[in-house]
Amino acid sequence: MKGKYSYRPLENGQHTRIIQLHPAQNHKDQLRCDLIHFKHGDGPYDAISYAWKESKRRGTKAVRHSDADLLIRESTKSLVLKITPSLENALRALRSKTETIHLWADAVCINQEDNEEKSIQVKGMSGIYTNARMVRLWLGKNYYGAEGALSMVDAGQGSDLPEDILTNFRKILLRPWFQRRWVIQEALLAQNARIHCGDISMDFHQFAIKAWEISLVLKKRGPDFLFTQGYGRAYDMVDTIHWGLLDRQRNSAFFPIYRLLHDFRAARCYDDRDRIYALLGLCDEKAHIEITYEKSTDEVYAELTLALWKSSTRQLPPCVSLHYAGAFRSSDVEGSTLPSWVPDWRASRRFQPFHPSFNPPTPKATLYHPRFIQINGIKGLILPGYKIHTIQGSIKHVFQPVRSPVHSLGILRSRLSKWVSQVTPATKAETWADPLLAMMQGLLDAHKELLELNAKGFVKKLVGAPNELSDQRLEKYLLADVSLGLNESNIQALLDGFYESMDGRIFIRFDEQPGLSFNVPEDTRDGDEVWVFDEEDTPFILRPAKDSGGSVGYRVMGDVGTTWKVGKHFDVLRELGIEKEWEEKEIVII
What is the spatial distance between Cα 64 and Cα 373, in angstroms, rounded to a whole number?
Answer: 51
Name the burial class of residue 487, with classes exposed (0-12), middle (13-18) and buried (19+) by CB atoms within 10 angstroms of its CB.
middle
What is the spatial distance between Cα 91 and Cα 81, in angstroms, rounded to a whole number?
Answer: 14
Is the confidence at residue 190, as pLDDT, over 60? yes
Reduced to 3 states (helix: H, G, I; strand: E, B; else coil), residue 444 is helix
414/318: higher pLDDT: 318
Residues 419 and 449 grouped into a single domain: yes
State the pLDDT at residue 98: 96
| Residues 294, 391 contacting (CB under 8 angstroms) | no
Mean pLDDT (whole number) for 502-510: 74
| Residues 424, 430 contacting (CB under 8 angstroms) | yes
Is the confidence at residue 383, as pLDDT, over 80? yes
Instruction: Please report whether residue 258 resides in a domain.
Output: no
| Radius of gyration (C-alpha) of the chain in whole angstroms | 28
| Residues 162, 221 contacting (CB under 8 angstroms) | no
Reduced to 3 states (helix: H, G, I; strand: E, B; else coil), residue 35 is strand
Is the confidence at residue 491, as pLDDT, over 50? yes
Residues 308 and 425 grouped into a single domain: no
What is the spatial distance between Cα 188 and Cα 186, in angstroms, rounded to a whole number?
Answer: 6
Residues 185 and 313 grouped into a single domain: no
Instruction: Please report whether residue 289 resides in a domain.
Output: no
State the pLDDT at residue 467: 41
Mean pLDDT (whole number) for 132-160: 75
| Domain total in the chain | 3
How confident is the prediction for the chain on average, in pLDDT? 75
Instruction: Please report whether residue 193 resides in a domain.
Output: yes
State the pLDDT at residue 329: 92
82/482: higher pLDDT: 82
Residue-range definition of the domain harbouring residue 305: 295-393+521-589
State the pLDDT at residue 348: 92
What is the spatial distance between Cα 544 and Cα 529, in angstroms, rounded to a whole number?
Answer: 8
Residues 116 and 218 grouped into a single domain: yes
Residues 80 and 211 grouped into a single domain: yes
Residues 108 and 144 grouped into a single domain: yes
Phi, psi for 62 (deg, rounded to 5): -90, 125
Residues 484 and 543 grouped into a single domain: no
State the pLDDT at residue 206: 87
Residues 64 and 198 grouped into a single domain: yes
191/218: higher pLDDT: 191
Most confident of 127-141, 395-409, 487-501, 524-538: 127-141
Helix/strand/coil (H/E/C) assignment for every residue in 82-133: EECHHHHHHHHHHCCCCCCEEEECHHHHCCCCCHHHHHHHHHCHHHHHHHCC
What is the spatial distance between Cα 475 and Cα 431, in angstroms, rounded to a whole number?
Answer: 26
State the pLDDT at residue 33: 95
- pLDDT tens, residue by residue, 218-251: 777 766 676 666 677 787 888 888 877 777 766 6
Instruction: Please report whether residue 275 resides in a domain.
Output: no
At 367, the pLDDT band (50, 70, 90 cuts) reads low
State the pLDDT at residue 426: 36
Tell which of 452, 472, 506 closes a domain. 506
| Residues 403, 428 contacting (CB under 8 angstroms) | no
Instruction: Please report whether residue 284 resides in a domain.
Output: no
Residues 214 and 323 grouped into a single domain: no
Mean pLDDT (whole number) for 77-89: 91
Tell which of 251, 280, 304 closes a domain. 251
What is the spatial distance between Cα 67 and Cα 336, in angstroms, rounded to a whole number?
Answer: 38
Which residues are registered as beta bridge partners of 106? none
Helix (H) or strand (E) holding 73: strand 68-74
Instruction: Please report whether residue 54 resides in a domain.
Output: yes
Mean pLDDT (whole number) for 480-493: 50
pTM, full prediction: 0.76
Tell me which residue of 419, 267, 399, 407 sits closest to 345, measured CA to CA. Answer: 267
At 84, the pLDDT band (50, 70, 90 cuts) reads very high
Reduced to 3 states (helix: H, G, I; strand: E, B; else coil), residue 224 is coil
Mean pLDDT (whole number) for 45-72: 66
- pLDDT tens, residue by residue, 534-588: 767 788 999 999 875 667 799 999 998 765 444 444 554 445 444 455 677 889 9
Percentage with pLDDT > 90 across the chain? 27
Residues 165 and 75 grouped into a single domain: yes
At 56, the pLDDT band (50, 70, 90 cuts) reads very low
Q: Please list the helix, strand and coil fractions of the chain in percent, rounded to the nearest 5, in that order.
A: 40, 20, 40
Residues 529 and 501 grouped into a single domain: no
Instruction: Please report whether residue 318 resides in a domain.
Output: yes
Instruction: Please report whether residue 8 resides in a domain.
Output: no
Count of CB atoms situated within 10 Å of the CB of 53: 12
At 174, the pLDDT band (50, 70, 90 cuts) reads confident
For residue 70, what are the contacts with CB-CB under 8 A and spacing of at least 6?
A: 31, 32, 33, 80, 81, 82, 83, 88, 91, 108
Is the confidence at residue 463, as pLDDT, over 50? no
The DSSP code sequence of 458-509 is -HHHHHS--SS--HHHHHHHHHH-GGGT-SHHHHHHHHHHHHHHHTTEEEEE
- What are the CA-CA distances from residue 291 to residues 105, 112, 122, 256, 303 (Å)? 20, 15, 8, 17, 11
| Residues 547, 380 contacting (CB under 8 angstroms) | no
Residues 446 and 551 grouped into a single domain: no
Tell which of 251, 275, 308 closes a domain. 251
Q: What is the amino acid identity at position 114?
A: D
